[in-house]
Structure 1
Amino acid sequence: MPPLDEKALSDAQAATAVLVRRGKVSEPVGAMVIPSQSGVLFPVGDRDGELYVNGRTLTQQWADSLRAEVPDLASDVARLQAMRAEWLDSSPEDRTLALAGSCTDPNCRTPR
């Protein structure tokens, strides 16, 4: 397993803390940390069904930017986009569990 980029993790956690303070998410539940040589992905879902990754809404533009910044995690970004689509289709009470149980990669630790 690659070493965890501690600075990238702390930056992602700080961005998530901002979402919590703004009331976008109640807490960083169901988050997963995917270590890599060049960063981490820290997804969190809000009450309205949006999926945030490293503190930003997982739009197509942000997903493309993540792929460019952390190319070794491109497949994980694609999986998160698929998760977001499923997340939007699920009922609000099922969303946290869907996110928490979705990571099967051995490099993924859930929840953290």
Structure 2
Amino acid sequence: MSVAVANEVRATVIPSQRGVLVAVGGVDGELYVNGRALTDQWASQLRDDLPDLASDVVGLQARRAQWQDAPPTDRSVELRGSARTDPNCHGVH
């Protein structure tokens, strides 16, 4: 599976046995994962849908909380440092 991302947008793509997590930084400290803002409800559903990536979702939630307190100027660098447990994570694209 390949994911096309515009040059000016950075994304972290984390493969799962049941799909992928695609995390993209937005504006005003928001973090989007698989096309939706990473609300508590959406994070819970992602953990249910992709149980092998539950710890990655938790890490992304922590990153979102940090961003909401102090939005970074370069989200691509911030996403690169996200907690990931899967050694096959594709990193920032």
TM tier, smaller = 0.7 to 0.9
Distance 1:104 1:63 in 2: 15
Secondary structure in 2 aligned to 1:28? Answer: coil
Is 1:28 the counterpart of 2:34 in the alignment? no
Distance 2:39 2:62 in 1: 12
Q: TM-score, normalised by structure 2?
A: 0.80
1:52 to 25, 28, 32: 32
Unaligned runs of 5+ in 1: 1-5, 21-25
Deviations 1:7-41 (A, max 9, x none): xx65xx6xxx7xx8xxxxx9431x11111110110
Report the RMSD for the aligned CA atoms in angstroms: 2.3
Query: Does the 8 Å contact 1:49/1:95 carry over to 2?
Result: no
Q: How does 1:1-112 map to 2 (within 5 A)?
A: 6=1, 27-29=8-10, 31-103=11-83, 105=85, 106-112=87-93
Q: Which amino acid aligns with 2:9?
A: P
* Percent of residue pairs identical: 55
Bigger relative CO (Cα 8 Å, ≥ 6 apart): 2
Larger Rg: 1
Deviations 1:41-98 (A, max 9, x none): 0001112110000000000000011011111111111111011111222244144421
The structure whose residues are more often strand, as a share, is: 2
Q: TM-score, normalised by structure 1?
A: 0.68
Distance 1:94 1:27 in 2: 11
Query: Does the 8 Å contact 1:48/1:92 carry over to 2?
Result: no
Distance 1:104 1:72 in 2: 11
Q: Which amino acid aligns with 1:49?
A: G
The structure whose residues are more often helix, as a share, is: 1
Aligned residues: 92
